[in-house]
Amino acid sequence: MKKSISIVMGSDSDLPVVKDATKILSEFGVPYEIDILSAHRAPDATLAFAKNASKKGVRVIIAAAGGAAHLAGVIASHFPLPVIGIPIKSSTLSGIDSLYSIVQMPPGIPVATVGINGAQNASLLAIQILATSDKKLEKKLVDYKKGLAKKVLEKSEKLKKLGVERYLLEIKK
């Protein structure tokens, strides 16, 4: 099956965050490819990837990077379809540097940006983009969101039944 979503990360140290995106994509049955690229340390490979991705059938790219976090922007400047950036929390500025680097793109080079370490939302946004032309995927998203609502309402009922203190003790277990 053709892989319509590509996930790239600037370093293998980003993989513990990025794995949350892969879990969601797998849960939805969306095939993906995953690579390590770097806008700074492997610029030629990153450029080749960005220029050839749509020819391979990639419809959305998720790009995760920390620090200067130029990966998503560099890819977006050469890839004609949606790019979603995941700012990775860094030890220096807690990911604020990554967030600003990804979200503050110049006019003409949009990058959708999720929250710091927001890999799960990045994959859900990518799925939503694909679902604009895939009714089966749209149905899975509707069911997923119904499941989220069900979990919240179950927690609310449990809180009412147990009260604050007992509920908090349950959470700690």
Does the annotation flag 134 for ligand binding?
no
Residue 97 annotated as binding site? no
Q: Is 41 annotated as a binding residue?
A: yes
Tokens of 72: 């998503």
Q: Please give the Cα distance from 138 to 64 (Å, whole number).
A: 25
Q: CA torsion, points 150, 151, 157, 160, in degrees to nearest 10?
A: -140
Q: How many helices (H) and strands (E) does the chain have?
A: 7, 5
DSSP conformation letters of 8-40 = EESSGGGHHHHHHHHHHHHHTT--EEEEE--TT
Element spanning 140, H or E? helix 135-162
**Binding-site residue ranges for substrate:** 11, 14, 41
**Binding-site residue ranges:** 11, 14, 41
